[in-house]
Structure 1
C-alpha cells in the first residue's frame, strides 16, 4: 500500500525544486485540478498548459507545510506557497486537498485568497518596472 501523505510531501518537494518532470509524473493522466477560485483543469495536458501559461515567471519556490493530515487516499494540507518572481518572493496562504488513486494525484484542489495573490503579484511586478 502506498503512503498517500508521503506522495504529497514528495510532490511538494518537487515543487520546491521546480522539478516539473517530477511534478507532472506525480499526477494521473486524467487529473482534475482546481486552483479555486480560478477555472478548473481536466487532464494532464490542461494542467501543463495552465502552469506553462501562468506568466508568473517564477525561478524559485518554497512550499511550507504547516499541517498535513491523511484519511486513506485523501490528504489535506495547510501551506504557505512562496514563489520568487523578478527577484522578489510572494507568499500565498493555501489549503490543499489531494485525492490519490493508484499512487498518483487524481484530484487536486487548492483554496486561496485571490485578492492576496493579486496584491502579491502587483507588488513584485511593480518592483520589476521601478
Structure 2
C-alpha cells in the first residue's frame, strides 16, 4: 500500500466512528488486528474489539473524532485528534494521538495515547469500566 491508500483507510475508520457504525469499525480491522489503548491490555481480534465497543459505546449519544493533524511516517498513520462526545448526559473532550499500522486495506494495529482520567470524567464515570 502507498501512503495515500493508508490515509484513505484511516479516514474511513474515522468516518465509521463518527457515524457510530460499529460493524464498519470492526470490519476495518484485520481478523487478528489489535486495538491497544496503551494504558490497558491490548484487544486482539475482531470479536474482542466488538465486545469492547459494546461496553465503550453504552449510552453514547454523539461522537466526533476531530482530526487536527494526520500523516504517514515510516509507513504508519499518525493521527492527532480531539474526541468530542456525549454519553449518558455527560459531555467530554479528550485529546488523543493514534498510531495505525495498515496493511492490505485493513488496520493490523491501532495504538491510542490519551489521559484515561480525562476520558472517564467526560463519560461521567467515577471508576474505570475496563479494569
**TM bucket by the smaller chain?**
0.7 to 0.9
Alignment-derived partner of residue 37 in structure 1: 39
Distance verdict in 2 for CA 1:62–1:93, change over 3 Å: same
Q: In the alignment, is the contact (CA less than 8 A) between 1:8 and 1:75 conserved in 2?
A: yes
Partner SS state of residue 110, structure 2? strand
Distance verdict in 2 for CA 1:11–1:55, change over 3 Å: closer
Structure 1 residue ranges without an equivalent (≥5): 126-130
User: Which stretch of structure 1 is more off in the superposition, 30-39 or 114-123?
Assistant: 114-123
Aligned length, in residue pairs = 124
TM-score, normalisation: structure 2: 0.85
Map 1:39-58 onto structure 2 (within 5 A): 39-54=41-56, 56-58=58-60
The two structures, once aligned, show a CA RMSD in angstroms of 1.9
TM-score, normalisation: structure 1: 0.86
Partner SS state of residue 12, structure 2? helix
Indicate which of 69, 72, 80 corresponds to 2:71.
69
Alignment-derived partner of residue 117 in structure 1: 119
User: Which stretch of structure 1 is more off in the superposition, 52-61 or 21-30?
Assistant: 52-61
Partner SS state of residue 124, structure 2? helix
2:61 and 2:39 map into 1 onto residues whose CA distance is: 24
1:108 and 1:55 map into 2 onto residues whose CA distance is: 18
Q: In the alignment, is the contact (CA less than 8 A) between 1:98 and 1:105 conserved in 2?
A: yes
